[in-house]
Structure 1
Amino acid sequence: MYTTSFAFFEALWEAGVTHCFVNLGSDHPSIIEAMVKGTREKKGQFPRIITCPNEMVAMSMADGYARLTNQPQCVIVHVDVGTQGLGAAVHNASTGRAPVLVFAGLSPFTIEGEMRGSRTEFIHWIQDVPDQKQIVSQYCRYSAELKTGKNVKQMVARALQFATSQPQGPVYLYGAREVMEEEINPYELDKKLAEPIELGALSAKAVQNISEALGGAKQPILIVGYAARNQEVPAALVELADTVPALQILDTAGSEMSFPANHPAWLGLKYGAAPEIETADVIILLDVDVPWIPTQCKPRADARVFHIDSDPLKQMMPVFYVSAEGRYRACSFTVVQQLTAHLKANKALITSKTEAAARESSHSKLLATIEARCKPHDDGTFGAGYVCRKVRASVPEDTIFAVEAVTNTLFTHDALQPILPGSWYNCGGGGLGWSGGAALGLKLATDTINGGKGKGKFVCQVVADGTFLFSVPSSVHWIGKRYGIPVLTIILNNAGWHAPKRSLLLVHPDGEGSTATHEELNISFDPVPDYSGIAKAAADGDLFAARVDKAADFEAKLAEAIKVVNGGMSAVLDCKVVPGS
């Protein structure tokens, strides 16, 4: 039997979707039938189905997988409640520009058995809501209802075209049981229908103008956000920085590894405030959402600013503006190549040719400052920097990091000092709990593209304690056990939420809360849970779990954890860190 549901899965596969992360319900009888039929009859030509007991974990897995491969993936959830269960993960995929297609069923629209798929259960009345797509549509690039099976492949292709065109992001399709049960004639669709819209290059005039400004600058910086989704961008930026001796590169998003830490132009990761922003005479913004926070840091009045972005208008943000001399919707990789080629062909434009030594010196001082903060304390305790430096030195060089360290994120990045494209991923938005599912998705992706289970790169999740709880570890570590997806999880345990206090002090530095305890502020996690024990229970005991609070014990526990992960089993190392160090 060839139904709308079966054609739906065919359309996904034909468009390059290799995995469906599913949380099934009463709206999915035909979906389940199609899954069974497809896995039996079309082995190797049908999406792999991954069962996810929690919807946010499912979406985060698809997010991580899609961001590593740059190929869209699918999440299937249950009517309105499953759509709501996606929660903050839809926000993350939207702001993180992850191409994910979400499908949800609808309650049947017939009651008396008029069609196959008519209502058969009590819950079908309860889950019949006026406009289901409104739950997520403001986060989606496209949302639409499937109304017949006869054009289901066209609808999937259109949705995926939106998901993969810049700015990428999630899309939402939904359909009632009767529609998904409809029998149709098998058909094929031209794969070109799902191809994304390409971004263009800068005009010759724009290239000339920006090149002249960049070449003549004494203190130029390039601020990057999410451009390195294209893994060719970091190398292109290195070539540009080598061409312009004064240029420095600042990351103000940390979405991916945008620029290698071992290059003298590297300024690390900063959120919205850095002294180089205030002193720069030329600033290039490259695919970035928040280059600076005006209440904390502003460019100098005479700075020349050029904004190059796949989405310079930031159409999903009601309030956004940056004062810039020029704004361009263009492909960041192409633009960097254009600027480099023009400057190399017109070397006379580069007037600041003696700045390389100063840049080298500045970089060396930055690295020394970071290293000094990565030492253990005299009493044997340690901070996040110590943990990250030891992890970086112990795991394989090409390890992929999934980081959600919240208040420790900036220094975690600078201590890990990623240098390889595709080796660092951070949550695209503010929906805490991303990294658990994302780490699984990243590991599944690297294994899949390298030939199968255990053949991909080592994956390490670095997560704050509060965010670990948000990640639904009971679901994450069950999935890891079920599908054999080993990940090393490093928990930076500082016994509570520190971000709310930081936010409080930015607004009320001398207020009542400035002298309050964490218990008074309701951000303490005392008594502290056994985080690694939670993970071990979810994995039915097949997981290495350890807690460590002294530097003398850390290296041995870390070595054991890495050995376990290399052997195919996950490990969770709960590290008690001293806050602020």
Structure 2
Amino acid sequence: MLDQTARPKTGGEALLMALKASGIDYLFANAGTDFPPIIEGLVQLSESDAPTPITVPHETAGMAMAHGHWLVTGRPQAVMVHVNVGLANAVMGVINAASDNVPVFVLSGRTPLTETGRKGGRMTPIQYGQEMYDQTSLVRDVVKFDYELRYPEQADSVTKRAASLMVSAPEGPVYMSLPKEPLTEALPDGFAPVPVPASAQPAAPDAEAIATLAAWISEAKMPVVLCQRSDPQGRVSALLSRCAEAFGLAVSEPFSIRNVLASDDPALLGYNPKAATAEADLVIVLDSGVPWIEAVSAPGKDVRVAHIGPDPLFRRMPVRGYRTDLAITADPVMALEALLLHEPDTTAVARRQSVHAKVALLRSALPEPDAGGDGPMSAEWMSACISDIMNDSAVAFSELGLLLPHMTLKGPNRVFSNVHAGGLGWAMPAALGAQLADRDRLVIACVGDGSYMFANPVTCHQIAEALSLPILTIIKNNAMWNAVRRSVVKGYPDGAAVRQNRIPLTSLEPLPDFTQVARASRAHAERIERGADLPAALRRAVEIIRTERRQVLLDLSVAASDDH
């Protein structure tokens, strides 16, 4: 409980108290010489008046931990890094958060402004070499709000304003630059903390627009909803399933970021946008930035297209030319609730039966996954086996790893996939953030071999050991950047590069022994060569996590595929 009688003495203390008052529990920090007033403030203040500091040995890990924590809790966290060099390392994570509308409070020190005469002024050579004319330019294009602190008292009011903007829809990261002087200086006489501003209320849909959409649904034979993500509480999932049942809607989750429906939902058509829209005569895009690829899977010219979301036109995307016949600015939950107020027409029953039959046919046609015999296993087999160990609360963070059609997901937000910004190295530290939020949950990071290296694995394993976060890391190892190889094969199927034994700039051989990297932090680690051995290895991993509370790494030999 925040002590309402506590009063900060410096700008640094005011900043910490304002973050805590704004609902931020953790400060993921990679410290530098600009941190002394923050470190002193953490000691001076009681634990209830400041976020809990978490040491992260690399900035990308801190950003992804905050990202992953929000995905499973809906509670935003803060990340603080060292001046411009630390911010440069954090930028990729800021881009990922912005792409996924994930609120993260990003803070960085800034070189002291003064050379003499003020407490907190310059004392080291690097404080000259690190100064920039516009440090904030590193992130300004992807944050909702930015500000450089001028005076110590602003550490209270500006921080609380930024926090409220961060969680107002559409959510996203905010940034504050912190020169050392205002953090160090005493607050003026008479200073009093301001109340935390209320965040903006979510947008309610226009009633006439929802009525138009309901009318379009009644006129359609195969209305399809495309949805890529649910909210952390799963409200979108529950309401979308109800709408699909009531109105006879089919649902597809192309380019999924956070799975929305349970795998056995009778309305779930799968994850392929081209197959989902092939017979559609109405497409409803629900808060999805990339519902299809315009060049290869756009709906037919006569198909009506409606977009719904806090920002249905995704104004932050410079090029996004999807046809839009109806755009409804609304919180997805409120839009679905408003749609349910309309009585389904008499054709809904026939539509529902048609959708259920189509879904059943698609699922029956899905081939059984191949364990791979004595050779590398298939990614389909890996995905199915991982699905088998996931209980009702387990979550997986997938970075070019899991294949959702081959998994049995028991509800929404069971698999979090890498965001469309494509900043790799995200899944493993994001899993650490989720594990920090719930230490009893089974948390899995399933990553490609290249993504594992991007994740700064020495850092991630160190964090897992230091904080006792027993995640299960699974490496889908094919010794290459297969996404790059596939792109070359598809772009130049008859080209000279394809005729090479090894396509340039794709091989990762010779690979390091990933198990030794994990064992350096006392993890249990195994290399699995045969698919038949995977189920038993996964059971061992879960048992070690449950009984020893120790992180586990499984390095799997997985066949490269031209499809995924």
Give TM-score scaled by structure 2 length: 0.94
* Aligned-partner residue type, residue 87 of structure 1: V
Q: Does 1:93 align with 2:94?
A: no
Paired residues in the alignment total 551
Aligned to 2:315, the other structure's residue is in SS state coil
1:579 to 554, 560, 563: 560
**What is the alpha-carbon distance in structure 2 between the residues aligned to residue 151 and residue 253 of structure 1?**
42
Matches within 5 A, 1:61-100: 61-100=65-104
Map Cα deviations across residues 115-165 of structure 1 (whole Å, 9 max, x no partner): 111111111110111110001111111111110111221111121122111
**What is the alpha-carbon distance in structure 2 between the residues aligned to residue 529 and residue 210 of structure 1?**
55
Match for residue 362 of structure 2? 366
2:527 to 544, 547, 559: 547
**What is the alpha-carbon distance in structure 1 between the residues aligned to residue 242 and residue 53 of structure 2?**
42
Match for residue 551 of structure 2? 570
Return the offset for 1:564.
Answer: 1.0
2:267 to 260, 265, 268: 265
CA contact (8 A) 1:218 1:352 kept: no
Aligned to 1:516, the other structure's residue is in SS state coil
Aligned to 1:569, the other structure's residue is in SS state coil
Match for residue 277 of structure 2? 277
Return the offset for 1:350.
Answer: 4.1
Match for residue 408 of structure 2? 417
**What is the alpha-carbon distance in structure 1 between the residues aligned to residue 490 and residue 312 of structure 2?**
28
CA contact (8 A) 2:270 2:276 kept: no
CA contact (8 A) 1:226 1:255 kept: yes
* Aligned-partner residue type, residue 522 of structure 1: L
Matches within 5 A, 1:41-440: 42-112=46-116, 114-184=117-187, 187-191=192-196, 193=197, 195-245=198-248, 247-270=249-272, 273-342=273-342, 346-347=343-344, 349-370=345-366, 372-379=367-374, 381-405=376-400, 408-409=401-402, 412-428=403-419, 429-440=421-432
Match for residue 536 of structure 2? 556
CA contact (8 A) 2:469 2:550 kept: yes
**What is the alpha-carbon distance in structure 2 between the residues aligned to residue 516 and residue 265 of structure 1?**
44
* Aligned-partner residue type, residue 551 of structure 2: S
Aligned to 1:335, the other structure's residue is in SS state helix
**What is the alpha-carbon distance in structure 1 between the residues aligned to residue 390 and residue 209 of structure 2?**
44
Structure 2 alignment gaps of length 5 or more:
1-7
Return the offset for 1:7.
Answer: 0.6
Return the offset for 1:213.
Answer: 1.0
* Aligned-partner residue type, residue 520 of structure 1: I
CA contact (8 A) 1:225 1:254 kept: yes
Aligned to 2:515, the other structure's residue is in SS state helix
Return the offset for 1:353.
Answer: 2.1
Match for residue 3 of structure 2? none
Relative distance call for 1:419 and 1:341 in structure 2 (3 A) is: farther
Return the offset for 1:45.
Answer: 3.6
* Aligned-partner residue type, residue 430 of structure 1: G
CA contact (8 A) 1:398 1:420 kept: no
CA contact (8 A) 2:118 2:181 kept: yes
Return the offset for 1:303.
Answer: 0.7
Aligned to 1:8, the other structure's residue is in SS state helix
Q: Does 1:474 align with 2:479?
A: no
Return the offset for 1:228.
Answer: 3.2
Aligned to 1:572, the other structure's residue is in SS state strand
Map Cα deviations across residues 250-302 of structure 1 (whole Å, 9 max, x no partner): 112322121111011112223xx422213210110110111111111111111
Return the offset for 1:381.
Answer: 3.9
Map Cα deviations across residues 296-330 of structure 1 (whole Å, 9 max, x no partner): 11111111111112112322211112212111211
Relative distance call for 1:558 and 1:227 in structure 2 (3 A) is: closer
CA contact (8 A) 1:544 1:572 kept: yes
**What is the alpha-carbon distance in structure 1 between the residues aligned to residue 223 and residue 103 of structure 2?**
33
**What is the alpha-carbon distance in structure 2 between the residues aligned to residue 366 and residue 3 of structure 1?**
63
Map Cα deviations across residues 527-566 of structure 1 (whole Å, 9 max, x no partner): 22212221221x1xx2110000113322222111111111
* Aligned-partner residue type, residue 195 of structure 2: D
Aligned to 1:254, the other structure's residue is in SS state coil
What percent of counterpart residues are identical? 28
**What is the alpha-carbon distance in structure 1 between the residues aligned to residue 56 and residue 296 of structure 2?**
41
Return the offset for 1:167.
Answer: 1.6
**What is the alpha-carbon distance in structure 1 between the residues aligned to residue 374 and residue 99 of structure 2?**
42
Return the offset for 1:374.
Answer: 1.6
Q: Does 1:441 align with 2:425?
A: no
CA contact (8 A) 1:244 1:350 kept: no
Match for residue 451 of structure 1? none
Return the offset for 1:226.
Answer: 2.9
Q: Does 1:536 align with 2:536?
A: no
* Aligned-partner residue type, residue 29 of structure 1: P
Map Cα deviations across residues 216-237 of structure 1 (whole Å, 9 max, x no partner): 3111100112343452110101
Structure 1 alignment gaps of length 5 or more:
448-453
Aligned to 1:87, the other structure's residue is in SS state helix
Moved more, 74-83 or 273-282: 273-282
CA contact (8 A) 1:544 1:570 kept: yes
Return the offset for 1:101.
Answer: 0.7
* Aligned-partner residue type, residue 183 of structure 2: M
CA contact (8 A) 2:373 2:531 kept: no
Moved more, 550-559 or 76-85: 550-559
* Aligned-partner residue type, residue 99 of structure 1: P
Match for residue 20 of structure 1? 27
Q: CA RMSD in A?
A: 1.8
Return the offset for 1:170.
Answer: 1.0
**What is the alpha-carbon distance in structure 2 between the residues aligned to residue 415 and residue 552 of structure 1?**
17
Give TM-score scaled by structure 1 length: 0.91
Q: Does 1:505 align with 2:489?
A: yes
Aligned to 1:478, the other structure's residue is in SS state helix
Aligned to 2:296, the other structure's residue is in SS state coil
* Aligned-partner residue type, residue 259 of structure 1: L
1:34 to 15, 37, 41: 41
**What is the alpha-carbon distance in structure 2 between the residues aligned to residue 109 and residue 132 of structure 1?**
13
Aligned to 2:497, the other structure's residue is in SS state helix
Return the offset for 1:474.
Answer: 0.6
Relative distance call for 1:560 and 1:175 in structure 2 (3 A) is: same
Matches within 5 A, 1:508-519: 508-517=492-501, 519=502
